[in-house]
Chains A and B, each alone.
Chain A
Amino acid sequence: MPLLEVKGLQVEFRTHDAAVRAVNGVSFTLEEGETLGIVGESGSGKSQSVLAMLGLLASNGRATGEALYRGENLIGMPARALNRIRGNRLSMIFQDPMSSLNPYLTIERQMTEVLELHKNLTRREAKKRAIAMLEAVRIPEAAHRIGQYPHELSGGMRQRVMIAMALLCEPEVLFADEPTTALDVTVQAQVLQLLRDLQRDFGTSIVLITHDLGVVAGLCEKVMVMYGGRVMEQCDAATLFAKPSHPYTIGLLRALPRLDQQGGELAGIPGNPPNMAHPPAGCPFHERCADATAECAEREPALETVRTSGTHATHWLRACHRPVDAMTTRYQESSHV
């Protein structure tokens, strides 16, 4: 049985004006030790999907569907049961480490409470374990740093503290919501390397949410591309980068500036993200898609399997009316000089 199995997840927010459907039917699986990257623009629903799974939606949000962790549905789970799982078997780190750590509590307090709660350690034992974890994430002078407040650390160090805090109970899955977006590029590389090493050492599965394809390429085995609250394409990373078959994925890859090509203009994807309060009919991407047909505007394409491959029999899933090969060929033609 897969570690995590999401089926038809939907998230809706009730606002004054209308109901906003931020996530409109997301499905994926995660195996043990796997790294999944969820890619999409702002507003594609990638963060809300994960927040919904961990019961962290804002008070006006409602999630429906299934998110099965070892067979138990996280959606709608009562808080008491959920509290035994989050921070313990499923952990999450967030985008901005400065605002995600409590500025009024020491690092020690914020770390030890996790161990005291989930592993029933005493304060002293917890402190020892926390210091060890801080050293594992390569924080210098860990024993001294642990007594400090978050604002006394640099951005990169804070993010490492967050990672350490999330791994204290040796969770099975680590969800990382844009963990490097708020950091400098050099620090980004260090944090990603850290995640890679930790995954190797602890065997944790990682779900990495990002809008940066470079980050995905460096860390993830499996990639899921989201747009307008839905999954567009999902396959292993190698295939995605070599033979993308969805117009949106193609657009994303084409938009990456290439150092090995001279001149030409930067290719963007024309148009604007959809208004999730009044989502367009049919495929959410059709208004910006160069290959859209009449069918695309009417009927929502289902997420279908293209092929199966890879170590865990990874499915290559895709939601588009246009044929796979035509799209793949188109990409390969345009990307070679």
Chain B
Amino acid sequence: MWSYTLRRVLLTLPTLLIVVTVCYLLLHATPGGPFDGERKVSAEVLANLQAKYHLGEPLWKQYLLYLDGLLHGDLGASFRYADWSVNELVLRALPVSLAIGGVSMALAIVIGVLLGVAAALRRNSIADYALMLVSNAGNAFPSFVIGPVLILVFAIALKWLPAGGWDDFDPRYMALPVALLVMINVATVGRVTRASLIEVMNTPYIRTARAKGLAMHTIVLRHALKPTLIPVVSVIGPLAIQSITAAVVTESVFSLPGIGKLIVNGAANRDYTLVLGLVVLVTVVAVLLNLLVDLAYAWLDPKIRY
């Protein structure tokens, strides 16, 4: 088990390294970019950049120093705002994104699994059709379509909730963004759970369980649930990564001051270094999340464990 963990961790490092390197090189290659001497920047920003990115040194040294900085948690300096470092901007935006993302992921998993199990056990019932409906809607309609529609219905027509913005973790401002993200993810989780449980219920070992006279709820909870959830876990990894993408759109639609909004604004302002720092951060988080999910998967399946 531990050798498996070690191997997976070791495999992840090259990924991270390559991503960071590619981003960094892209930054250098950009004409008119921060490291191109011709770019006009204010004196304060230039001073910041000189200090943070060691612009005087040869490229390889700059790169290594940048990596060193990363390892110490320093994401760099903004290209636009002399006063702010990327770290400070991140610290203000991160809690927002984490709150929305965490809550919606947890809800999506719980609701998705429940719906999927209900749908699998009672085919062609209300639960089954409800799941298929949400599943198709969540999948086919892009998030930036569903989002505005939600606002139209709940904020503008019904006036139950605010149309956007943020007020210190006030649930009313979190409701619609979370609803959007849950809708998108519940579809996938539900579908995978349903398909997985249907397959598991058709296995020979479930037939043996029935032959032993076990009640249906015992069979589902004790015999079927674990093998059913294993494919679901493997889906959560990519889902979390997709959620990061969805979060960017969601934060745009609902004007939430999170990391996604920061990235989009940075891109619009051509604040290269800010975008670079944020992308590196989020990618690292995403890759690590993936790793965690892989390890959980291995832990669940006894065949891999031994």
Contacts and interface: CB of A to CB of B under 8 A. Distances in A.
* Direct contact, A vs B (beta carbon within 8 Å): yes
A160 to B, nearest CB: 15
A145 interface: no
A99 B213 contact: no
Contact of B213 (A83, A105, A109): A83
A239 B205 CA distance: 38
B78 to A, nearest CB: 51
A56 B223 contact: no
A103 B204 contact: no
A181 B216 CA distance: 30
A328 to B, nearest CB: 39
**Interface residue SS majority, chain B:** helix
B212 interface: yes
Contacts of B208: 94, 100-102, 162
A239 to B, nearest CB: 32
Given A83-B213, A165-B212, 7 more contacts: A86-B211, A87-B213, A100-B204, A101-B205, A103-B302, A113-B218, A149-B303
Contacts of B301: 104
Given A100-B205, A104-B227, A56 B303 contact: no
Contacts of A80: 215
Interface of B: 202-216, 218, 222-223, 226-227, 301-303, 306
A116 B301 CA distance: 26
Nearest to B203: A99
A91 B207 CA distance: 12
Interface residues of A, number: 34
Given A56-B207, A94-B204, A96-B204, A102 B223 contact: yes
Contacts of A149: 302-303, 306
Nearest to B305: A149
A103 B227 CA distance: 9
A102 B219 CA distance: 11
A103 B301 CA distance: 9
Contacts of A105: 222-223
Contact of B205 (A55, A85, A103): A103
A88 B210 CA distance: 12
A244 to B, nearest CB: 33
B214 A87 contact: yes
A117 interface: yes
A83 B216 CA distance: 10
A152 interface: yes
Contacts of B203: 99
A82 B216 CA distance: 12
Nearest to B302: A149
A151 B303 contact: yes
Contacts of A109: 222
Given A105-B222, A113-B222, A85 B204 contact: no
Nearest to B210: A56
A79 interface: yes
Nearest to B225: A104
24 contacts: A56-B207, A82-B213, A83-B214, A83-B215, A85-B213, A86-B210, A92-B211, A100-B205, A101-B205, A102-B208, A103-B205, A103-B303, A104-B223, A104-B226, A104-B301, A113-B214, A113-B218, A117-B213, A117-B218, A118-B213, A149-B302, A151-B303, A152-B306, A162-B208
B207 A100 contact: yes
Contacts of A118: 213
Contacts of B222: 105, 109, 113
Nearest to A114: B212
